[in-house]
């Protein structure tokens, strides 16, 4: 036995994500598994609970629009320069999904607590905000080490996703996955029960045997399955490989303003697979 399973394709990978799963998602520029997301929508996933590390955009918007999502925890859902995420906005304004507003470093801290196997981490700031008021699962204590007492500080509980799902430039045949400087992906994988990864390419060489690659490599022991999906982050970008397809995202942002337009987008770009490169 050695390493992670190599899944035959993104649909086989997405089939490993059960309804109701708590899924950790990377931020827009860190390698979003968009091909696997389309596969999740095709398989009709339901009641997913999303947790973004720490923000999300097109991925969550599409899952929400397709009715796959019960709840989302995030610091923001945004299409960046293409504006608000329209299906998220519609679902929020009509109270159709549960939203747990957070702030970026609180999500990093929660995920790092999950990685370390500790129940919580303390974090500065946040006190006096309405974010805290709407987060009964966060708590405030006085710093136990403060010499003069006082010094209130927020504690955020550990985040332990059922599934970490992301797209990376490459993996090797054992399932070692290279993420480079995107170390929050390693943290997310460490904190998660199951890690599913799509990659541009699966190489023969052992990434851990290469001293230059090893520090940026997530070892296979954390990885449950890998699937090759060239262009698997499109229409989002993959740093160092390809840029965001701005025309595509702009067109999505307009179409998804209405439920009908979003449905048309799904039929064109998701339900009929466009996964061929």
Partner 1 sequence: MSWASEGERAAFLACALAGLFEGARSIAIGANSPIPAMAALLAKARHPETKLIVQGSAEHNFFTGGGAEQFDFVAQGRLDAFVLGGAQIDGQGNVNLVAAGDYARPRTRFPGSFGAAFVYYMIPRVILFSIEHSPRVLVPRVDFISAPGAGPPGLHRPGGPTHLLTGKALFAFDREHAAFHLESVHPGSTVDQIIAETGFAFEHPDHVETTPGPSRRDRELLRGKIGAELSAIYPDFMSRAYGTGADT
Instruction: Choose, by CB under 8 A, the member of 74, 156, 165, 199 that binds partner 1.
Output: 74
In the three-class reduction of DSSP (H, G, I as helix; E, B as strand; rest coil), residue 160 is classed as: coil
Instruction: Choose, by CB under 8 A, the member of 13, 14, 171, 185 that binds partner 1.
Output: 185
* Minimum gap (Å) between residue 246 Cβ and partner 1: 7
Per-residue burial over 114-136, b if 16 or more Cβ lie within 10 Å, else e, is: bbeeeebbebeebeeeebbeebe
Stretch that binds partner 1, among 77-85, 163-171, 194-202, 225-233 (CB under 8 A): 77-85
Is 89 near partner 1 (CB under 8 A)?
Answer: yes
Gap between the Cα atoms of 199 and 203, Å rounded: 10
Instruction: Choose, by CB under 8 A, the member of 1, 2, 93, 272 that binds partner 1.
Output: 93
* Minimum gap (Å) between residue 37 Cβ and partner 1: 19
Give the contact letters, 8-27, x = binds to partner 1 (CB under 8 A), - = no: -------------------x
Site size toward partner 1 (CB under 8 A) is 52
Angle at the Cα of 22 (from 170 to 219), degrees rounded to 5? 30
- From residue 277, give the alpha-carbon distance in Å to each of 174, 229, 230, 235: 24, 9, 7, 12
Closer residue to partner 1 (CB): 127 or 221: 127
Is 78 near partner 1 (CB under 8 A)?
Answer: yes
Is 92 near partner 1 (CB under 8 A)?
Answer: yes
Per-residue burial over 248-268, b if 16 or more Cβ lie within 10 Å, else e, is: bbebbbebbbeeebbeebbee
* Minimum gap (Å) between residue 240 Cβ and partner 1: 9
Q: What is the dihedral of CA 56, 62, 68, 74, to 10 degrees?
A: 10
Instruction: Choose, by CB under 8 A, the member of 37, 55, 59, 224 that binds partner 1.
Output: 55
Instruction: Choose, by CB under 8 A, the member of 1, 95, 144, 145 that binds partner 1.
Output: 95
Gap between the Cα atoms of 93 and 126, Å rounded: 24
Lookup: tokens for 211: 């001293």
Is 59 near partner 1 (CB under 8 A)?
Answer: no
Lookup: tokens for 207: 């990434």
Which residues contact residue 59 at a Cβ distance below 8 angstroms, ignoring those fewer than 6 apart? 25, 28, 32, 33, 34, 37, 236
Stretch that binds partner 1, among 11-19, 36-44, 72-80, 163-171 (CB under 8 A): 72-80
Is 112 near partner 1 (CB under 8 A)?
Answer: yes
Is 128 near partner 1 (CB under 8 A)?
Answer: yes
Lookup: tokens for 60: 């969550």
Is 123 near partner 1 (CB under 8 A)?
Answer: yes
Distance of CA 212 to the CA centre of its chain: 26
Is 116 near partner 1 (CB under 8 A)?
Answer: no
Is 214 near partner 1 (CB under 8 A)?
Answer: no
Query: Strands 139-142 and 152-157, how do they pair?
Result: antiparallel
Which residues would be at the binding site for partner 1 (CB under 8 A)? 27, 30, 53-55, 74-78, 80-81, 84-85, 88-89, 92-95, 101-106, 108-109, 112, 123-132, 134, 150-153, 181-187, 246
């Amino acid at each position: 036995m050695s390493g992670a399973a190599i899944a035959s394709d993104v649909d086989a990978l997405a089939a490993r994500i059960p309804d109701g799963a708590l899924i950790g998602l990377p931020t827009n520029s860190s390698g979003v598994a968009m091909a696997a997301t389309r596969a999740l929508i095709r398989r009709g996933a339901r009641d997913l609970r999303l947790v973004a590390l720490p923000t999300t955009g097109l991925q969550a918007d599409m899952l929400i629009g397709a009715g796959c999502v019960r709840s989302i925890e995030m610091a923001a859902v945004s299409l960046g320069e293409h504006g608000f995420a329209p299906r998220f906005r519609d679902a929020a304004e009509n109270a159709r999904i549960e939203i747990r507003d957070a702030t970026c470093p609180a999500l990093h801290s929660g995920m790092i607590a999950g990685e370390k196997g500790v129940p919580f981490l303390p974090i500065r700031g946040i006190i006096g905000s309405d974010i805290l008021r709407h987060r009964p699962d966060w708590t405030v204590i006085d710093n136990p080490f403060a010499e003069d007492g006082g010094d209130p500080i927020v504690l955020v509980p550990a985040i332990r996703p059922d599934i970490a799902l992301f797209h990376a430039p490459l993996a090797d045949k054992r399932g070692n996955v290279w993420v480079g400087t995107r170390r929050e992906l390693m943290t997310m994988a460490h904190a998660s029960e199951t890690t599913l990864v799509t990659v541009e390419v699966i190489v023969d060489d052992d990434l851990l045997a290469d001293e230059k690659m090893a520090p940026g490599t997530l070892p296979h022991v954390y990885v449950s399955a890998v699937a090759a999906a060239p262009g698997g982050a499109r229409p989002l970008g993959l740093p160092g490989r390809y840029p965001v397809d701005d025309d595509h995202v702009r067109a999505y942002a307009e179409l998804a303003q209405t439920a009908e337009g979003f449905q048309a987008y799904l039929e064109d770009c998701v339900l009929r697979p466009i996964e061929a490169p």
